[in-house]
Structure 1
């Protein structure tokens, strides 16, 4: 069973009660400026996820039941051939946490303590959670299409390096449409609408929206109370506050600068975890320009921002998978020509 929530509060926020989240990613969609559709996210993790920016051509054959060499879905695993080319950041080489396709449909997976995909139903094609986002951008061009195709598969819990994929999914497209998808007690909860622009971690999104009605950031001032801690609810409030103050950008450079500023404001400084906090440092930040199919990437331990244009790479079926290791301090600026052929496909 799936529950859909359409409409709702976009950027008003109040005091919240939350569970202690271990990973503190954040996502902000900027879909009401005149330059384009931009989305920023932070990736927070207790260790390096070995991120590799990877370009997949059209026509990739996938087996959703595999986690690297491990079989996660033994019966009726989902299989598909990708309709669209994509650019993603892989995690441990067995899945992706962030990416977009050639149609401008993007996804971001963030941690959510309450995630429960429910018992396995072998009557439905099963897919390990690490490929949830990849499945979406392989097969859909819009948020509406993505929600439709997700009806056909079941997400199955996966585990890598001792951490379960207790995640929720944000998707958005080049029109500015947005959806946030969570599984609570085995039931899918879908918040669909371009007003759902902010996402952090706990509590579940319906609880966040129910509690986001006490402080109105539509008329922010220097006297507006604003929390400064690293927990998800505090980061949610800061995104709401600062995003309501963003000036209209005059060009892409200004738009990316604003989106990155939001992501940096809610980042956890390098060197965490802090004793007793259960919060881990920000490993990297990304910004996508879904109107121009451009991907910006900032590794926390690198002084440089890099970017690549998906449209400048070979995306035809039969073309090789291409990769770029962002952990190269010499990389800077446009790196579209620096991709190399992958020795093997990550998944």
Structure 2
């Protein structure tokens, strides 16, 4: 077992050394009530010009590609964080389903050109799920049938568009979706509470099992590599108290956990191009349907109550423009303005 894990650690290090510089972390935290809160960091080598968007029920969508795009109408409203205004990479819908897309350099979606299935841009993957499903179980049942093929054009700067998707809901259910070697792999269950990046999730779990035998009070790996962050966050999450009866403190607890795994803004090391600054953090309260946002460029936190913003925007797409990194405090539903939705990467 020890030899296997050492080989996995070496493989993870080699894979991560060649990866583009994204190193996000996602957690699923259980309060003492119980209720469930998702926290994540977005780490990237440059500012991806994120805005927040409110999308209503009934909105017409397509898969973001010119050839045989998947088409649908949204069954749920959502609030999302965009990535270059080319992708929905993080968000929550009006049923309390939370979706997060993190980088995975090993992702392989297969050859979309030979598939006869409808096509979906990687930038629309999370949005498709938020638009369609109320629970993780519902999403797993539908997506395991593979109703579409994913198309992944390069990101700005020529970086490979490659990611895996995590879901969580108000019951505490969780799922991780990865495409490895062109095949969909799903890890489904409330035990899947932490996700980072490379290596693929099954290998990540094996590496983490080794660190559990070491014991977090004795030693934890300290680098910014994905497998090290996975081990540290797993230990931290297990050790963190379950906050009961105080949703403000529970939210603060999740922010403290994801900040502990954040990379300082502006940090760069030419010898370690895979390490990138944390650009922003989100916290999604699945039960309260509340979405918190914290930019590393601004000393403030704001949040959006989904029921409030989807009512305030009158059933039309709306954007909270974060250009220039404005300082925003408190509930921010009134700061969204009607806007034409962005086009998913590939259009």
TM-score surpassing 0.5? Answer: yes
Higher strand share: 1
Asked if the contact 1:124–1:153 (Cα under 8 Å) also holds between the matched residues in 2, the reply is yes
Q: Which runs of 5+ in 2 are unaligned?
A: none
Cα gap change, 1:83/1:316 in structure 2, threshold over 3 Å: closer, same or farther? farther
Map residues 49-68 of structure 1 onto 2, 5 A cutoff.
49-66=48-65
Counterpart in the other structure of 2:170: 174
Aligned match of 1:140: 133
Could you tell me how far apart the structure 2 residues matched to 1:210 and 1:149 are?
Answer: 28
Matched residue, 2:155:
160
> Distance in 2 between the 1:105 and 1:166 partners?
22
Contact 1:104 1:141 in 2 (8 A): yes
8 Å contact kept, 1:117–1:185: yes
Corresponding residue of 2:266: 271
Shift of the 155–202 alpha-carbon distance from structure 1 to 2, 3 Å rule, reads same
- 2:185 equivalent to 1:189: yes
**Partner Cα separation in structure 1 for residue 97 and residue 258 of structure 2:** 20
- Name the residue aligned to 1:94: 86
* 1:206-245 mapped onto 2 (5 Å cutoff): 206-216=202-212, 221=217, 224-245=218-239
Q: Give CA deviations for 1:177-228 in whole Å, capped at 9, x if unaligned.
A: 100011111011110000000000011001111222223389753xx20222
Q: Is the 8 A contact 1:286 1:296 kept in 2?
A: yes
Pairing 1:245-324 to 2, within 5 Å after superposition: 245-250=239-244, 251-278=246-273, 279-315=275-311, 319-324=315-320
- How far apart, in 2, do the equivalents of 1:165 and 1:143 lie? 24
CA contact (8 A) 1:107 1:171 kept: yes
The range that moved more, 321-330 or 233-242, is: 321-330
**Alpha carbons 1:220, 1:245 under 8 Å: kept:** no
Task: Tell me the alpha carbon deviations over residues 67-93 of structure 1, each in whole angstroms, 9 at most, x when there is no partner.
Answer: xxxx3xx1x211111110000001111
Look up the SS of the partner of 2:191 in the other structure. Answer: coil
What is the rounded CA distance, in whole Å, between the counterparts of 2:210 and 2:310 in structure 1?
Answer: 50
User: Structure 2: how far apart are the matches of 1:236 and 1:328?
Assistant: 29
How far apart, CA to CA, are the structure 1 residues paired with 2:232 and 2:134?
Answer: 31
Structure 1 residues 29 and 86: CA distance shift in structure 2, 3 A: same
TM-score by length of 2: 0.88
Give the drift of 1:132: 0.4
| 1:42 positional shift | 0.4
2:333 to 328, 336, 341: 336
Tell which deviates more after alignment, 310-319 or 258-267: 310-319
Which blocks of at least 5 consecutive residues in structure 1 are unaligned? 1-12
Coordinate RMSD, CA, aligned: 2.1
Aligned to 1:39: 38
Higher share in helix: 2
TM-score when normalising by structure 1:
0.88
**Residue 23 of structure 2 corresponds to residue 24 of structure 1:** yes
